[in-house]
Amino acid sequence: MLPGAEKAFPVSWDQFHRDARALAWRLGSQGNWQAIVCVTRGGLVPAAIIARELGIRLIETICIASYHEYKEQGGLVVLKTVAPQLIELADGEGGAILVIDDLVDTGQTLRVVREILPKAHIATVYAKPQGRPLVDTFITEVSQDTWIYFPWDLGLTFQAPLSGSKA
């Protein structure tokens, strides 16, 4: 789904914070979480909120690029995987690992994550129908043809990253 699509779902900072806290509330009763793996970059903000709310100190990243120039979803590139110690923990006590992302769209990114951390609990703030089966917990489902405008992408108009680098 490309920006400028027929259906747009702009999310304010306040709304995103409420939705991420709601996700933390839902996750709090589902397990004894020992660590969070956030999918960068979209998972960084909700992971910080969830870590605070659930008192989780061990936070790791998995860096996967799938959107390029905020326009098209292209091939996946794993830029950084999870630390070996966390993979060992996930293999032994996979139910103790939370994977956090802002959104599941087609599910391509989370398929890669699931291969690396098969026993982890995957949670997203928002979910679209194609990717929904890959998520264990989410807060809001939006239609596949909706583009979510996250608060870090918005000013009064779309704000391109300062670096000018590829998304």
Active-site annotation, residues: 101-102, 105
With 0-12 CB in 10 A as exposed, 13-18 as middle and 19+ as buried, what is 34?
middle
What secondary structure does DSSP assign to 80-147, as a single string?
E---HHHHHHHHHHGGGEEEEEEEESSSHHHHHHHHHSTTSEEEEEEE-TTTGGG-SEEEEE--TTEE
Q: How many CB atoms lie within 10 A of CB 20?
A: 22
Q: Return the closest-CA partner of residue 136 out of 148, 124, 154.
A: 124
What letter does residue 158 receive in the DSSP assignment? B
